[in-house]
Amino acid sequence: MTIKRGGFTNRLGFVAAAAGSAIGLGNIWRFPYEAGQNGGAVFLVIYIICIFAICFPVMVGEIAVGRKSQSDAYGAFRALGNKRLAVIGGFGILCGFMILSFYNVVAGWAFGYFLEIVFGDLLQEKDFGAFFSSYVTDFWDNLIYSLVFMAATAWIVMKGIKEGIETASKIMMPILFLLLIGLVIHALTLDNAWEGVKFYLWPDFSELTIKTIYAAVGQAFFSLSLGMGALITYGSYVSKKENITRAATVVTLADFSVAFLAGLLIFPLVFSQGQQPTAGPGLVFVALPGIFQHMDPLIGRVVGGGFFLLLCFAALTSTISLLEVPTAYFVDEKKWPRKPVVWGLALTIFIMGLPSLLSQGASPFLTNFLFYEGASKTFLDLISDVFSEVGLPLGGFMISIFIAFKWKTRNLTAEIAQGNPEYPGSKLERFINFMITTICPLFLGLLFIVTVLQKFFNIEVFHLIGL
Ligand code: TRP
């Protein structure tokens, strides 16, 4: 029996699905708190350089590898390389698995906030910081919300590529974008908003540290859904007529715009409300309700609820891409039927997310799980640090090495040329090939070593060699 592979119906289908995968909690929840903890504007500068110089070429590479191989993340490296190299794909699948386990928990928070704003009294709270801290310790509520979220994800992935993913992305993303713009305009008129804008847009390079760099690179990979084969998997469903470089440009710009706007919304709010930009993972949940509280109560409920609902949809188009990667692996490689694979994986990942869920105060042991980088870390922090901040750029490193030395850039060019006949010989081709063969492997390889040593072993490499 041959199992038919899915396929995107048209160009917008792929771009919408890839943008849907990219735009999610990473942009609205993670980006502002990472920027807030890492110097604000300096972080933004490094982030921008990284997405265009490092991530964009890797993204083009991933999509091309997927389309050429017509395989899942694991099979792609075997098809274009050999069986041993398939571990690169295997590592990516593992990262996606672990990322989804905690991502789903945070998505559950967003869903809970939607319900609390619309049907509860969240907007009457006096102290949103205290509310959030106690909210995330509630085991049962969070268990149910994240279960609902995972079930919704599994349901869409089960229905296959076309119907599920495309429709959801096409309607929800533009609405979210417009709402964000409206909120930003509103936030900029608040008292002290300017302080936030300064923090976010006026770089103080004396704040630049190694941590700023690895945090920004990790964030860039996370936000663009890179480094673990999500775009290899999506790329395998793309038609040969698709212009890959154009699609990657649109996805990168769309993803960046949403993250940029989220920062431009959160920091003015944080400063006008006298909060701390360094608050960490709760930042958005603590800062954002304030803007809805000051609206007319009914309007606040509608707009605030609407915002968190849209955030849930953005998260959903990301979780489906995270679940699609291991699903494609079992369906393509093991020839298992799609339906039980999807539900089995969803249940397993949900259970693996429980320690992360409990690590927000419900379990003291998991909450103060480890101490590194000069701070006490929760179990969720650990999984996020290992599998996204370190794991994804490492995946990007391996993918660029693979393209540069095994698959070869001439095959990359030939693949991109289908759908983009002007590509061979263009400046863009030279740029991408140079980056993929030189800068990406060198920078990401070095960064991996420096990050692991500094983060987990407190060894500052550049200090050691006297820099
Ligand atoms: N990019 C998504 C976000 O910003 C999260 C995500 C979806 C992801 N698929 C991924 C991250 C694959 C890494 C790899 O919310």
- Rounded to two decimals, the pTM is 0.96
pLDDT (0 to 100) of residue 159? 82
C-alpha 102 – ligand 1 centre gap (Å):
12
Contacts of 193 by beta carbon, 8 Å cutoff, 6+ apart? 187, 268, 269, 271, 272
Q: Which of 99, 251, 255, 386, when mutated, tests ligand 1's pocket best, judged by the most ligand atoms within 8 Å of its CB?
A: 99
pLDDT (0 to 100) of residue 1? 37
Contacts of 120 by beta carbon, 8 Å cutoff, 6+ apart? none
Q: What proportions of the chain, in percent to the nearest 5, are helix, strand and coil?
A: 75, 0, 20
Q: Which residue has the tokens 């922090």?
A: 381
Tens-place pLDDT, residues 91-127: 999 999 999 999 999 999 999 999 999 999 999 999 9
CA distance 339 to 39: 45
**In which residue ranges of the chain is pLDDT below 50?**
1-3
So where are the chain's domains? 11-464
Tens-place pLDDT, residues 311-361: 999 999 899 999 999 999 999 999 999 999 999 999 999 999 999 999 999
C-alpha closest to that of 318 among 9, 8, 25, 10: 25
CATH architecture of structural domain 11-464: Orthogonal Bundle (1.10)
Ligand 1 contacts (CB < 6 A) are 21-22, 24-27, 96, 99, 222-223, 225, 228, 230, 318, 321-322, 392
Question: Integer distance in angstroms from the first to the last C-alpha of the chain?
Answer: 61
Residues 151 and 139: beta-carbon distance below 8 Å: no
C-alpha 30 – ligand 1 centre gap (Å):
11
Amino acid identity of residue 8, one-letter, is F
